[in-house]
Chains A and B, each alone.
Chain A
Amino acid sequence: MTTRDTPRLELTGITKRFPGVLANDHVGFAVQPGEIHALLGENGAGKSTLVKMIYGIMQPDAGEIRWNGQPITVTSPKAARRLGIGMVFQHFSLFEAMTVLENIALGMDAKIPARELEAKILDVMKHYGLKLEPRRIVSTLSVGERQRIEIVRALLLNPKLLIMDEPTSVLTPQEVDQLFVVLRKLAAEGCSILYISHKLHEIKALCDTATILRGGKLVDTCNPKVETSRSMAEKMIGGSLKDIQRQPGAQFGAEKLVISDLSIPAAGHFGTALKGISFAVHAGEIFGIAGVAGNGQNDLLLALSGEVLSARPEAVTVDGKPIGLHAAKARRLFGMATVPEERNGHAAVPVFSLADNAILTARDRLGLAKSGMIRAGAAWTYADEVIEAFAVKATGPQAMAESLSGGNLQKYIMGREILQKPAVLVVSQPTWGVDAGAAAAIHQALVDLAAKGSAIVVISQDLDELLALCDTLAVINEGRLSKPMQVAGADIEEIGLLMGGIHGDAQATAAAKEALAHAH
């Protein structure tokens, strides 16, 4: 690739203003044919607005878009697709009750008979190694498979530029690897890819160029292979990235949370049975639970929060008190707070205000309700306190939970639990879909809470996060928890193998290593 080539896409001086915000301020960059170009920035940096203008969903107020050297106006997504611009959205625009085939047919502008379309789909899937069954109903598919539908849909149009909006935020590591194989193959065939993400290690692994946006402005265009993750993150947040601050040589206190031989049968079709889980977390300790999605993390969280009761009261004890038979409300009174993975609908009610959401978990510990009546003023003050303390970007305690961005809502939910000073805090995927700045703030808050003597359990699929954050680590696999190990001096390879489900069996380990080698 030489710079003398006509860029596939070139933006100059793109400006877009919304009431009260300058979403894009004279942004310009170029994407070469066959280039994988990262668009990097925190939530609200203007990435989405920018690609919406490229894809014709919005029109820029000023600036020029050039396509293969020709200035163009993209009036609609349809026009974009005609030019050869495809887009895979972060939130899939799929129809759950319909088949894969019907979903793809809906995305096609040309009217193609179903049989012909199916043959074309099978062609594309075979060429790129994307596995899908055209007759399956979408609601029965995994997230990765759903994304493949979107990709196939885009690829059927033979795009010259494919926009991927945060494609990996919902994928398992294996699915990410598969996706990268497809994207590299596409790029090798000359298709340009505009890859939106804030996952720096992915961008380093995949992209040729990175354009970094901050607050609607272009900060830098750089080579991610040369930059470090840290330098890119600092450009992204516009300041130096704070490392997690720990008090050196802190000692753990007494055992706060003790789980002994916790077994719970699988709940429904998609649940995983928990089998004899035992661990103890001390005051001041952060205990990490690693594992590939779907190995019982969700079931464990429900068993800890009290949404699913244990068979014996001693299975779960907080400060020596057996609470295995207590439900969530009672467990909170014993000092056990939990933050589930799903923010909207589980941790918070999307259509409730932040103040009302505060009442939901803090009413007993903080007396936000008395004799059946809500103390609206107290709830308001508390919500305000959380917003202030955790720098939540919201219009105030009256803001609807659903109006907050993912990172801000997560900060609010974490803050709501942390300011209740729980004895034990259990969090699942605390930084899932959260930008780097918010993630750092959440990590620091967890460390600070531990320093004040709480016991913390972090369930996460992000091994890097657990290694940075936790004192102790265990791996969950098929509902069984491995022996806890000290994070300092932990063997990454061993953890990886435990995640794959080998329990110290030398022969099986060797076999797994071989299988891994073949897979790559």
Chain B
Amino acid sequence: MSIDFIIAAFITVVGLTTPILLAGLGELVVEKSGVLNLGVEGMMLIGAVCGFALTYTYGFDYPGIAPWGGILAAAAGGALSALLFGFLVLELNSNQVATGLALAIFGTGLSSLIGQGFTGMIITPFGSIFPDALATGRYTQVIFGYSPLVYFALAMVPAVHWFLNRTRAGLILRAVGENDLSAHSIGYSVKQVRYAAIAFGGAMAGIGGAYFSMVITPMWAEKMTAGRGWIALALVVFAGWRTGRLLAGAFFFGVLMTLELYAKASGFSLVPSEVWAAMPYLMTVVALTLISRRETAGGNAPACLGKPFLPTA
């Protein structure tokens, strides 16, 4: 195995890790606030199409800032669709699982609708912003060769960890997820905290989705996130609601997905490439099963996860 091959493989792994890391971090915060939003896939798709549409529309006139605008549009699209979910579960107390699944389906449909005029179009990938010498150098590309979104995702890992564990707002958010009624009785606004968490989760999922349409394959295609939203969901459980483990888990899934790509590309494979393609999803099932078998699993799971907030007074 040559050093170039290892470098290329590593770069691919990082690229595939980023969207599920982004969506997973968002969902982690949402779940820590006690809300289970299963609509990650839908929010990613909405983010993907919003980001692409804005970048494509303004890309010719403002090539420098259009991708940044695209990222903002992706975040806004994801957050808005998440707030719709938030309204249903927080105001109307609808079932979180059912509403989340509905959001996943709704997002798939809505993104197809918005993306109708953009199918087959191509934009310039939102690549490295470092000088070419660094971004494409044989070794320096390992550090500098990525889209800004990759650095953003990596920076968000310690940021989210710090927020949850070191700030008062993070403490309140965890408290709301741990015992909503107590938090309410102390005088915190459970709904406000959850709205904020849900919006953040939607924005992160949206940015994760935009990574597909703006970086990996700089074009729009229906259902282009290919189920990565579901993997992001599993990742949160797999990580035991811990940010460090979320990063490790995302990287692990990134490796699995890279194996699939190489099996397809090289034609060399012990098993049909479909098996590799199925591997992340199989691993999701395996991970969830293993986790639920372990007695200590869920030790860090928010106690109010998925339960409606019904204050008595």
A156 CB to closest chain B CB (Å) equals 13
Task: Give complex CA distance A168, B313 in Å.
Answer: 24
| Chain A residues with CB below 8 A from B302, complex form | 97
B166 CB to closest chain A CB (Å) equals 9
Which of B57-65, B113-121, B179-187 lies at the interface?
B179-187
Task: Give complex CA distance A93, B184 in Å.
Answer: 9
| Chain B residues within 8 Å of chain A by Cβ, number | 19
Secondary structure at chain B's binding surface: helix, strand, loop or mixed? helix
Does B178 sit at the interface, judged by CB under 8 A?
A: yes
Going nearest first, the 8 A-B pairs with the smallest beta carbon separation are A93-B182, A95-B178, A93-B185, A78-B187, A77-B187, A106-B175, A95-B179, A95-B175
Does A98 sit at the interface, judged by CB under 8 A?
A: yes
B178 CB to closest chain A CB (Å) equals 4
Interface contact B178-A93, CB-CB below 8 Å: no
Does B174 sit at the interface, judged by CB under 8 A?
A: yes
Does A57 sit at the interface, judged by CB under 8 A?
A: yes
A95-B182, A96-B303, A106-B171 given; 12 more Cβ-contact pairs under 8 Å: A78-B187, A92-B182, A93-B185, A95-B175, A95-B178, A95-B179, A96-B178, A97-B300, A97-B302, A98-B178, A105-B168, A105-B171
Task: Give complex CA distance A107, B313 in Å.
Answer: 18
Interface contact B313-A93, CB-CB below 8 Å: no
Interface contact A57-B175, CB-CB below 8 Å: no
Does B277 sit at the interface, judged by CB under 8 A?
A: no
Task: Give complex CA distance A58, B178 in Å.
Answer: 24
Number of A-B contacts (CB under 8 A): 51
Task: Give complex CA distance A89, B313 in Å.
Answer: 14
Q: Name 9 interchain pairs, CB-CB below 8 A, sorted by A.
A: A89-B185, A93-B181, A93-B186, A94-B179, A95-B174, A97-B303, A98-B171, A98-B178, A107-B186
Does A421 sit at the interface, judged by CB under 8 A?
A: no
B33 CB to closest chain A CB (Å) equals 13
| Chain A residues with CB below 8 A from B182, complex form | 92-95
Does B172 sit at the interface, judged by CB under 8 A?
A: yes
Task: Give complex CA distance A98, B300 in Å.
Answer: 10
Interface contact A57-B185, CB-CB below 8 Å: yes
A276 CB to closest chain B CB (Å) equals 31
Given contacts A58-B313, A93-B181, A105-B168, contact A98 B174 (CB under 8 A): yes
A 148-174 binary contact with B (CB < 8 Å = 1; else 0):
000000000000000000000000000
| Contact for B175 among A58, A76, A89, A98, CB less than 8 A | A98
| Chain A residues with CB below 8 A from B188, complex form | 106
Task: Give complex CA distance A497, B187 in Å.
Answer: 46
Determine the residue in chain A with the shortest Cβ distance to B181: A93
Determine the residue in chain B with the shortest Cβ distance to A109: B187
| Chain A residues with CB below 8 A from B300, complex form | 97
Task: Give complex CA distance A95, B177 in Å.
Answer: 9
Interface contact B168-A111, CB-CB below 8 Å: yes
